[in-house]
Amino acid sequence: DADVTQTPRNRITKTGKRIMLECSQTKGHDRMYWYRQDPGLGLRLIYYSFDVKDINKGEISDGYSVSRQAQAKFSLSLESAIPNQTALYFCATSDTGFPDTQYFGPGTRLTVL
């Protein structure tokens, strides 16, 4: 089984809808991250969490929120989706101690119509 899983893998939604993307990991890592990938822009950090009680905004957090339900689970929410949030979203984990290798999930392709 994959160490970092994301659900759903693909989602099409409409403008204004609330969307939640979920990430689970079995690596036992404390640190979890959410990125979005856009063509020509690479990966940009949305939010990151160093433990259940420590959540931090990344480079592009506006329009997003997160919840760290447990060490193994980190969810990303779009409260009111808009078309420019159409992107590929990746969850990643890393062990305690910066810097460390990040392990990425397979991604969620989100389309907002």
Partner 1 sequence: AQSVTQPDIHITVSEGASLELRCNYSYGATPYLFWYVQSPGQGLQLLLKYFSGDTLVQGIKGFEAEFKRSQSSFNLRKPSVHWSDAAEYFCAVGARNTGNQFYFGTGTSLTVIP
Query: 3-35 burial, b for 16+ CB within 10 Å, e for fewer?
Result: ebebeeeebebeeeeebebbbbbeeebbbbbbb
Specify the stretch interacting with partner 1 by CB under 8 A; choose among 11-19, 61-69, 76-84, 98-106. Answer: 98-106
- Token pair for residue 12? 């099409």
Residue 110 found at the interface with partner 1 (CB under 8 A): no
Degrees to nearest 5, angle at CA 22 with 15 and 108: 65
Q: Which residue has the tokens 């659900």?
A: 7
CB 58 to partner 1: min, Å? 7
Interface positions, 50-89, toward partner 1 (CB under 8 A): 50, 56, 58-59
C-beta separation of 75 from 20 below 8 A: yes
Residue 107 found at the interface with partner 1 (CB under 8 A): yes
CB 16 to partner 1: min, Å? 29
**Residues near partner 1, by CB under 8 A:** 4, 33, 35, 40-45, 48, 50, 56, 58-59, 90, 92, 98-99, 101-107
